[in-house]
Amino acid sequence: MRAGEYERRPIRFASRAGSAHFDDGRDGAPDDEIPLPLEAEVLALKQLGFSKPLIARMGRRALANGTTIERELLSNGGVDESAYYEAVARLLDLPFLDHISPERLMDRAALDCQLRRPTIVRLHDAQQPPVTAIAPEAHQLASLAERLARHPGLKQALAIASPATIRKAVWEAGAERRVQATANALFEETPRLSARIVMTGRQGFYAGALSSAGISALLFAAGPVMLCLHIMLSLLYFSSFILRLTALFHKRPRPGPPLVVQGDEILPVYTVMVALYREAAVVRQLIVSLERIDWPRSRLDIKLVCEADDSETISAIKALCLGPQFEIIAVPPIGPRTKPKALSYALAGARGDYVAIYDAEDRPHPGQLKEAYASFRAAPEDIACLQAPLIISNMQDSWISALFSLEYSALFRGLLPVLARYRMPLPLGGTSNHFRTDVLKAAGGWDPYNVTEDADLGMRLYRLGYRSQTIRRQTLEDAPVTARVWVGQRTRWFKGWLQTWLVMMRDPVLARQEMGLAAFVVFHLLIGGMLISSLAHPAILLFLGITAVAMMRSPAEDIALLDGILFGIDAINIFGSYATFLALGASVMIEHEKRLVGWRWIATPLYWMMVSYAAWRAALELKTKPFFWNKTPHQPRQPADGAEICDALSPNGAVASEGGT
């Protein structure tokens, strides 16, 4: 394929017309053959003006997807939902409401069920009797018409509204209650798992006592204290290095084809959530990518989660006149302005049995949802999350994006599959996560106050007894290409990893009991080791330099044995980490990716110094603005960007390398 990143299929944005072109054409059966199990809908749809051949085609699709003819008509993109329900209102001789003021609803928690299945709400008006707004399904129209004929007075108490209109009114009516609950629920129910308090009183006391003891010791015994600190940091650094070295040399089985769904299997509803903030530039690219997902439209529930005051992004989405499988969710500007708060807010309206998370610039493989669903079906019940690999498509743009691609390759295709195989905790990526919806809700969703909500949620799920696995069908995304954008993003990541480590260490004994000793150690090597190695990197380089100069100026017998040992360990830590970083990333890349990276890998030492700078910046920011979300800007990619990478992937479209994944 050279025309685009994935197989290009025609994408059309819906118009306001009541009738338009329908895709799928003929399904191999006569156009006038109406499936018997759906005949209850047929009369109503004929009365609404739909042709018998069209009804027959949509009926066969409804049987295949386990839905209704009406749902297939509306999801197909050729019938506008508002126009359809206006026609229903005319058929029943009832008023049609194209807008419902949220002030007319009495908000209560029980009303939230209408976010998932919007069919009926009670509307109140100080000057008039209450009215019930309904969104009847086609198979209900005949019985409803009969009831109205027997009781004509009901027409004064009923009105027709589209599901989207009802849902929008319910979102708006309960916005403040819902956003307050989103911001506070995890902290109020399980405060030990929330990052809302950066440090508990006990943690603050221990940190202060340790700092005071360290300063006092430095005043009276600076040499021994610095030596002990050096030994401890070197060993921690070395342990983190060994973990990645193990992943590098771990034997990877030859990958088979990704799991697939049987052709005649009825698929469940799948929710896809995308958090957008100041993303008007990439909205069209995002929608094109989501439209290419290989999943029945009538079984998709796509939430475009925007900040309520981000009018530019919301306007860009509305301009596309999307089908009813898309929903804009406006998050009130209350509480922390973070992606996890937005996602947790939207989770209340998720209709799917499974939830997938993407970022605004993502281009997921069209078959990723089907692989995830098949993997969930084949996995034990304790598998709550699946992580798809992220591949950088703009690695050729700068040396920063090239090294970023090596880093992502090492993590998502090298380290995480090894951890998943041994059922160890996974620090999830912030996108292309797939969850069992019921487990995600039971776990409390995302922590609104943790700015790397992905890593935090991965650890929390593990503590609750759930496990994560990896799948193979990838998501393409873009890396920062400038130092300013990269540092801002990486500072936020380090700040969130610090939050995650502090949350875990509020009660380390309990955390060890919940996770088990091996997983608890792996957590510290993953998160703690990464933090320590990044913060200590400049100091170890300085020690290496000073010791190297001393060795060159002094006879070998004058160099203390311990200094020589530490020099050797630190040299292994630094240069071994560089080598492992490059080797692990390259070992799971395809040849074309390696060619795109080229010789930019020689900037690895500079990249690691930038990592260290971001880590120290994050440590300072944790004190001054712990919940600040440093937004990463995105721009749309050219249509052919990433095409060569997809061309070079294995024939089944999943990530593969010479060594497998």
Chain segment 631-653, per-residue pLDDT in tens: 888 888 765 444 445 544 544 55
Residue at 521 is within a domain: no
Helix (H) or strand (E) holding 384: strand 383-387
CA-CA distance, 648 to 195, in Å (whole number)? 42
Segment among 52-56, 301-305, 461-465 with least mean pLDDT: 52-56
Q: What is the mean pLDDT of residues 562-591?
A: 90
Please report whether residue 111 resides in a domain: yes
Are both 75 and 100 inside the same structural domain? no
What pLDDT is stored for residue 557 in this prediction? Answer: 61
Say whether both 75 and 90 belong to one domain. Answer: no
Q: Evaluate whether residue 36 is within a structural domain.
A: yes
Mean pLDDT of 571-578: 91
What is residue 244's predicted lDDT score, i.e. its pLDDT? 87
Tell me what pLDDT residue 166 has.
98
Q: Select from 56, 79, 102 the last residue of a domain.
A: 79
- At 253 the pLDDT is 67
* Res. 5: pLDDT tops 70: no
Percentage of the chain modeled with pLDDT above 70: 89
| Assigned token pair, 482 | 């400038």
Residue 301 structure tokens: 């529930």
The secondary structure of the chain in percent helix, strand, coil, rounded to multiples of 5, reads 55, 10, 35
* Residue 278 confidence (pLDDT): 95
Q: How confident is the model at residue 542 (pLDDT cuts 50, 70, 90)?
A: confident
Contact, 248 vs 414, CB < 8 A?
yes
For residue range 110-126, list pLDDT tens digits in order: 999 999 999 999 999 98
Tell me the pLDDT band of 617, cut-offs 50, 70 and 90. very high
Across the range 607-618, mean pLDDT stands at: 97
**53 and 96 both lie in a single domain:** no
* 98 and 165 inside one domain: yes
Looking at the fold, whether 53 and 101 belong to one and the same domain comes out as no
> Lowest-confidence range among 12-16, 45-49, 91-95, 153-157?
12-16
What is the distance between the alpha carbons of residues 412 and 432, in angstroms, rounded to a whole number? 11
For 327-341, write each residue's pLDDT tens digit.
999 999 998 999 999
Alpha carbon of 253 to those of 256, 374, 569: distances in Å? 9, 20, 32
Q: Which residue has the higher pLDDT, 26 or 216?
A: 216
Q: Are 655 and 649 in contact (CB under 8 A)?
A: yes
Pick 86 or 563 by higher pLDDT.
86
pLDDT reported for residue 27: 47
114 and 155 co-located in one domain: yes
Is 383 within the bounds of a domain? no
Q: Which two tokens stand for residue 289?
A: 């990518």
Residue 152 lies in a domain: yes
The pLDDT confidence band at residue 220, using thresholds 50, 70 and 90, is confident
For residues 390 and 210, which has the higher predicted lDDT (pLDDT)? 390
Residues 113 and 55 placed together within one structural domain of the fold:
no
> What pLDDT does residue 540 have?
87
User: With contact defined as beta carbons under 8 Å apart, do 519 and 425 qualify?
Assistant: yes
* Contact indicator for 411, 349 with CB cutoff of 8 Å: no
Distance in angstroms (rounded) separating the CA atoms of residues 194 and 209 = 24
Of 3-17, 30-44, 245-259, 321-335, where does mean pLDDT reach its minimum? Answer: 3-17
* Residue 208, pLDDT above cutoff 90: no
Q: Is the pLDDT of residue 410 over 80?
A: yes
Q: Count up the domains in the chain and report the number.
A: 2
Report the range of poorest mean pLDDT among 39-48, 90-99, 354-363: 39-48
Residue 616 lies in a domain: no
What single-letter DSSP state applies at residue 300?
E
Per-residue pLDDT, 430? 87
141 vs 144: CA distance, rounded Å: 5
Q: Is residue 301 assigned to a domain?
A: no
In a domain, 532, yes or no: no
**pLDDT for 229 beyond 50:** yes
pLDDT exceeds 50 at position 78: yes
**Structure confidence at residue 654 (pLDDT):** 60
Query: ∠ CA(564), CA(569), CA(575), 5° rounding?
Result: 120
**pLDDT confidence of residue 7:** 55
Token couple for 516: 């088990």
List, edge to edge, every strand of the sheet that includes 120-125: 96-97, 158-161, 128-134, 120-125
Is the per-residue pLDDT at 24 higher than 80?
A: no
Asked whether residue 233 carries a pLDDT value surpassing 70, the answer given is yes
Same domain, 55 and 99: no
pLDDT of residue 653: 52
In the prediction, which pLDDT does 223 show? 77
Orientation angle between helical segments 483-504 and 453-463, nearest 10 degrees: 20
- Boundary (domain end) residue, out of 128, 158, 173: 173
Encode pLDDT of 506-521 as tens digits: 999 999 999 999 999 9
Q: Which residue has the higher pLDDT, 562 or 630?
A: 630
39-47 helix and 141-150 helix, angle to the nearest 10 degrees: 70
Query: What angle, 0 to 180 degrees and rounded to 10, lies between the N-to-C axes of helices 52-65 and 39-47?
Result: 140
Quick one: pLDDT at residue 559? 64
Shortest CA distance to 407 belongs to which of 608, 236, 592?
608
pLDDT at position 76: 85
Angstrom distance (rounded) from CA 333 to CA 330: 9
Residues 95 and 167 in one domain: yes
Residue 34 — very low, low, confident or very high, per pLDDT cuts 50/70/90?
Answer: low
Residue numbers of the domain that contains 163: 86-173
Residues 50 and 125 occupy one common structural domain = no
Chain mean pLDDT for the chain: 88
Q: Which of 143, 173, 203 is the last residue of a domain?
A: 173
Pair (43, 112) in one structural domain? no
Q: Where are the alpha helices (DSSP H) in 395-516?
A: 399-408, 416-421, 437-442, 453-463, 483-504, 508-515
Say what the pLDDT of residue 15 is. Answer: 39
pLDDT (tens digit per residue) in 265-275: 899 999 999 99
